[in-house]
């Protein structure tokens, strides 16, 4: 079988890039003798440690749209692919070869659709939704919540959508939590998108400070220039007068992140929209108690090993965090349950299922 994979998203370094890197690595470990994989990108990017049946096609192009819908289809046909896999929400507009698409996060089809300022952008997103449903033989998504959202907004997706849960890198199953750092802190790890609900989170943290809690707050993530879609976090922290107790860090690698999870008093994820929620299982695997939103896919991923709150209720959010911070026995119970829950998710299982789907189209 000759499989093409679009790895354009590796340039971004965000969630879709991590998914692509992990699923390609998992495919390399479960593929059959004689399989050939070609990884396509307009950028000079790659994935370390792949076997010799994986090769790269660097197809330079300044603009993404013509690259995706002309340069890539021409290359796919020339290379006589059996199937093309798009692992990060993107998809060409016409089917050059049989096509499988992974829609990881439907925020681009729901939240973003209503926030895009230009009618041209909104029209393009609507057109892309329709074409994805028509072009793809299979649509892979990462939670039952996302599958339901896809059925609602992507015409033709019912009957061809498969849920394949993400996995968790083995590096997170190392050092366990030691309970808390000498300077205790609350941890948030994710993007600074507005759907992450960070303004309410800062309001909840301010309530804790006003009640006498002394924990610092560490925000790990990054945003973007478009303030319709992303928070200006330094400005927001200053607005609430929390600049002396809130720290913002960007570009934290996995090893440093493991240390942050392992020493945090708790990890909080207050998202309103979330396709999966890597933060939840990463924190659980490191033995960090998790307090999170009861919205979207998060309860599906967190299981019975997290404390949940209504993401629109600031008081409930603050109370949930305070419950974990003030009860060491309860926090220790969450740590134990979290480690068990995180083991439900395996890149090995995900890779095998994706390979099966690629082989059926």
Where are the domains positioned within the chain?
A: 2-167+346-360, 170-342
Look up residue 119 and give its two tokens.
Answer: 């009618």
For residue 216, the cross-strand partners are 185
pTM of the full structure: 0.90
Q: What is the pLDDT of residues 187-222, one digit of tens each?
A: 999 999 999 999 999 999 999 999 999 999 999 999
State residue 127's pLDDT score.
79
Find the Cα–Cα–Cα–Cα dihedral 246, 248, 253, 259, rounded to 10°: -10
Q: Which class for 156: exposed (0-12), middle (13-18), buried (19 or more C-beta within 10 A)? A: middle
Using 50 as the pLDDT threshold, list the residues of the chain that sit under it. 113, 179
State residue 110's pLDDT score.
62
- Closest to 129 (Cα-Cα) out of 153, 105, 101, 106: 153
CATH (one of 3.40.50.720, 3.50.50.60, 3.60.21.10, 3.40.50.2000) for 170-342: 3.40.50.2000
Beta strands in 190-282 (DSSP E): 216-220, 246-249, 266-269
Number of Cβ within 10 Å of residue 273's Cβ equals: 24
State residue 226's pLDDT score.
78
State residue 120's pLDDT score.
73
State residue 227's pLDDT score.
79
Query: Which positions ≥6 away from 77 have C-beta within 8 Å?
Result: 96, 97
CA-to-CA distance for 53 and 137, rounded, in angstroms? 25
| CA distance to 106, 138, 357, per residue, from 360 (Å) | 25, 9, 5
State residue 323's pLDDT score.
98
State residue 109's pLDDT score.
60
State residue 33's pLDDT score.
93
State residue 225's pLDDT score.
79
State residue 108's pLDDT score.
62
CA-to-CA distance for 292 and 90, rounded, in angstroms? 29
State residue 72's pLDDT score.
97
State residue 123's pLDDT score.
75
CA-to-CA distance for 24 and 356, rounded, in angstroms? 14
State residue 175's pLDDT score.
59
Look up residue 240 and give its two tokens.
Answer: 């609430």
Class of domain 2-167+346-360: alpha beta
Q: Do residues 288 and 266 lie in contact, with contact meaning Cβ atoms separated by under 8 Å? A: yes
User: 10: which DSSP letter?
Assistant: G
Half-sphere exposure of residue 257: CA atoms within 13 angstroms, side-chain side: 23
Q: Is the dihedral of CA 38, 39, 43, 49 positive or negative?
A: negative
CA-to-CA distance for 312 and 218, rounded, in angstroms? 21
Helices (H) and strands (E) in the chain, counts: 14, 13
Say yes or no: do domains 2-167+346-360 and 170-342 share a fold. Answer: yes
State residue 181's pLDDT score.
56
State residue 212's pLDDT score.
97
């Amino acid at each position: 079988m000759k499989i093409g994979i679009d790895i354009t998203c590796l340039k971004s370094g965000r969630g879709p890039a991590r998914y692509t890197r992990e699923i390609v690595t998992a495919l390399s470990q479960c593929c059959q003798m004689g399989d050939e994989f070609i990884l396509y990108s307009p950028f000079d990017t790659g994935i370390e440690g792949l076997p010799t049946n994986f090769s790269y096609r660097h197809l330079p192009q300044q603009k993404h749209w013509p690259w995706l819908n002309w340069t890539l289809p021409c290359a796919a046909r020339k290379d006589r692919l059996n199937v093309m896999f798009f692992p990060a929400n993107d998809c060409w507009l016409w089917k050059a070869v049989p096509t499988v698409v992974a829609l990881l996060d439907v925020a681009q089809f729901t939240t973003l659709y209503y926030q895009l300022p230009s009618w041209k952008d909104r029209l393009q997103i609507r057109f892309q939704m329709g074409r994805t449903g028509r072009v793809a033989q299979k649509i892979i998504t990462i939670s039952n919540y996302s599958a339901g959202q896809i059925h609602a907004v992507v015409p033709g997706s019912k009957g061809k959508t498969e849920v394949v849960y993400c996995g968790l890198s083995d590096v997170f199953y190392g050092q366990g939590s030691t309970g808390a750092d000498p300077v205790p802190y609350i941890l948030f790890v994710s993007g600074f998108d507005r759907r992450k609900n960070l303004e309410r989170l800062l309001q909840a943290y301010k309530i804790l400070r006003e009640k006498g809690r002394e924990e610092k707050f560490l925000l790990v993530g990054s945003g973007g220039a478009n303030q319709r879609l992303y928070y200006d976090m330094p400005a927001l922290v200053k607005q609430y007068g929390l600049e002396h107790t809130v720290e913002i860090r960007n570009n934290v690698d996995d090893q440093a992140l493991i240390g942050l999870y392992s020493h945090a008093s708790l990890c909080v994820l207050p998202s309103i929209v979330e396709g999966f929620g890597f933060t939840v299982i990463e924190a659980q695997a490191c033995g960090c108690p998790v307090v999170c939103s009861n919205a979207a896919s998060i309860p599906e991923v967190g299981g019975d090993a997290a404390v949940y709150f209504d993401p629109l209720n600031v008081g409930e959010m603050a109370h949930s965090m305070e419950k974990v911070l003030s009860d060491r026995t309860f926090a220790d119970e969450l740590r134990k349950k979290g480690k068990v829950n995180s083991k439900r998710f395996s890149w090995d299982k995900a890779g095998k299922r994706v390979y099966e789907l690629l082989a059926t189209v």
